[in-house]
């Protein structure tokens, strides 16, 4: 007997702690951060209720879904499961219905007014909802990520998930009239790449400034990128940078690995040309510049004047260097002194943060699952 199509559309598949999460792709965040790193995830949080978070997620999905399959994710961090509602009143039953520490539900109905239904209707190939207690957030996150097929980018509605997962890009939505910030948003404010302001009908972030580059989410920033090269760089690296920076320059300065003098000359040229405070310096030879790494560098720039992102691999490409214009006078001085002595390293001129990162965990390591 054939199933009733209406009933099939309403079916919602569930999994919880008893289900295996061995399919989750696991990778540490850069710099020894204890979180999982998902450069293919765009996380969208909100500073309060009814800010337009779901609407922004739907617009982003709609903008990209025709070119690549996208998974939509929603996370609800449950405060209490004793039947009382943290917002007061009788509550909606989301918290009290959670029988285990976490539960992932797949949305198959694109016609209801639920957030996950709206995400599915906007073009997401699959949509999942994680309900999880705060104590089980790490385990629930691994269970949720196990449902995302390899190679698929995702758009995830959540503030709290950023405590255990570093996304490729993290946007936080607020209304133009908002004066207060909910605690979950305040707790992760320093992890946000950009606050997006909603006026009730639109957002102050044009959709063409959020791009997918090699499966990773990129944000075009008000910053400069300079490619150091003695020959014209390839079109792919320039396209990658133009999607991430409003100013892109090419400096004809050949730099050999380990040569500080050439690096200092390149940094001086980069900072002189930049009309922005921050400038990313890329050495020639790169085919593209990973957006997830660039975003991770910008998130860690507070309190330092330069960040050096270096892949922990013997065959890794040359590092990416993000520098602030405050270093320009010191670099210029070092170049003058370098005519009579070897040029100093960048770390002797200012506060530098080293950002080691790896592309994946060692084979067989699934300790976070």
Same fold, 25-86+93-213 and 220-357: no
Q: Rounded to an integer, what distance in angstroms lies between the CA atom of residue 206 and that of residue 330?
A: 37
Q: Rounded to an integer, what distance in angstroms lies between the CA atom of residue 146 and that of residue 26?
A: 9
pLDDT of residue 336: 73
Q: Which CATH class is domain 25-86+93-213?
A: alpha beta
Q: Which CATH number fits domain 220-357: 3.90.550.10, 1.10.10.60, 3.30.70.1290, 3.40.50.2300?
A: 3.90.550.10
CB 230, CB 219: distance < 8 Å: no
pLDDT of residue 231: 75
pLDDT of residue 6: 34
Q: Rounded to an integer, what distance in angstroms lies between the CA atom of residue 160 and that of residue 76?
A: 8
Q: Rounded to an integer, what distance in angstroms lies between the CA atom of residue 162 and that of residue 169?
A: 10
Q: Are strands 165-175 and 102-107 parallel, antiparallel or unpaired?
A: unpaired
Q: What angle do CA 341, 345, 348 make, to 5 degrees?
A: 100
Q: Rounded to an integer, what distance in angstroms lies between the CA atom of residue 280 and that of residue 306?
A: 10
pLDDT of residue 20: 41
User: How much is the pTM?
Assistant: 0.84
Q: Are strands 216-219 and 210-213 parallel, antiparallel or unpaired?
A: antiparallel
Q: Rounded to an integer, what distance in angstroms lies between the CA atom of residue 204 and that of residue 235?
A: 30
Domain boundaries, the chain: 25-86+93-213, 220-357
CB 94, CB 76: distance < 8 Å: yes
Structure tokens at 105: 């539900």
pLDDT of residue 12: 56
pLDDT of residue 338: 60
Could you read off the pLDDT tens digit of each residue along the chain, which spans 369 residues?
333 333 333 345 566 665 444 334 456 677 667 788 999 999 999 999 889 999 999 999 999 999 999 999 999 998 755 555 444 444 455 655 687 889 999 999 999 999 999 999 999 999 999 999 999 999 999 999 999 999 999 999 999 999 999 999 999 999 998 888 998 899 999 999 999 999 989 999 999 999 999 999 999 999 999 988 777 788 888 999 999 999 999 887 655 555 555 677 778 888 888 999 999 998 766 667 899 999 999 999 999 999 999 877 666 667 889 999 999 888 888 877 664 444 467 888 899 999 887 654 333 333 332
In the chain, which ranges are continuous DSSP H helix? 5-10, 53-64, 115-121, 137-145, 183-186, 235-242, 260-273, 291-299, 328-337
CB 116, CB 129: distance < 8 Å: yes
At residue 191, the 3 state secondary structure works out as: helix
Q: Among 4, 59, 32, which residue's Cα sits nearest to residue 207?
A: 59
């Amino acid at each position: 007997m054939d199933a009733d199509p209406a009933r099939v559309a309403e079916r919602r598949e569930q999994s919880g702690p008893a289900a295996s999460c061995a399919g989750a792709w696991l990778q540490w965040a850069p710099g020894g951060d204890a979180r999982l790193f998902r450069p293919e995830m765009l996380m969208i949080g909100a500073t309060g209720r009814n800010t337009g978070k779901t609407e922004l997620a739907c617009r982003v999905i709609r903008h990209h879904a025709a070119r690549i399959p996208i998974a939509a994710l929603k996370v609800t961090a449950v405060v209490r499961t004793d039947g009382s509602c943290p917002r007061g009143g009788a509550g909606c039953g989301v918290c009290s219905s959670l029988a285990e520490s976490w539960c992932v539900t797949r949305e198959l109905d694109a016609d209801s007014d639920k957030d996950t239904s709206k995400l599915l209707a906007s073009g997401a190939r699959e949509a999942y909802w994680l309900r999880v207690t705060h104590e089980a957030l790490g385990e629930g996150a691994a269970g949720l990520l196990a449902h995302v097929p390899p190679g698929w980018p995702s758009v995830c509605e959540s503030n709290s998930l950023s405590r255990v997962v570093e996304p490729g890009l993290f946007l936080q939505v607020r209304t133009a009239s908002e004066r207060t910030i909910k605690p979950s948003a305040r707790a992760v404010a320093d992890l946000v790449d950009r606050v997006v302001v909603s006026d009730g009908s639109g957002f102050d972030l044009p959709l063409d400034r959020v791009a997918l580059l090699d499966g990773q989410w990129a944000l075009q920033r008000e910053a400069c990128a300079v490619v150091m090269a003695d020959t014209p760089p390839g079109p792919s690296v320039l396209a990658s940078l133009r999607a991430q920076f409003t100013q892109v320059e090419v400096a004809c300065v050949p730099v050999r690995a380990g040569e500080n003098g050439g690096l200092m000359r390149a940094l001086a040229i980069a900072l002189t040309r930049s009309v922005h405070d921050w400038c990313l310096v890329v050495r020639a030879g790169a085919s593209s510049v990973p957006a997830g790494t660039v975003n991770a560098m910008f998130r860690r720039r507070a309190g330092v004047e330069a960040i050096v992102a270096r892949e922990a691999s013997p065959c890794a490409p040359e590092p990416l260097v993000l520098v602030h214009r405050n270093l320009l006078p010191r670099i210029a001085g070092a170049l003058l002194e370098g005519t009579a002595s070897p040029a100093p390293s960048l770390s002797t001129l200012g506060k530098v943060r080293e950002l080691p990162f790896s592309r994946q965990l060692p084979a067989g390591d699934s300790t976070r699952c």
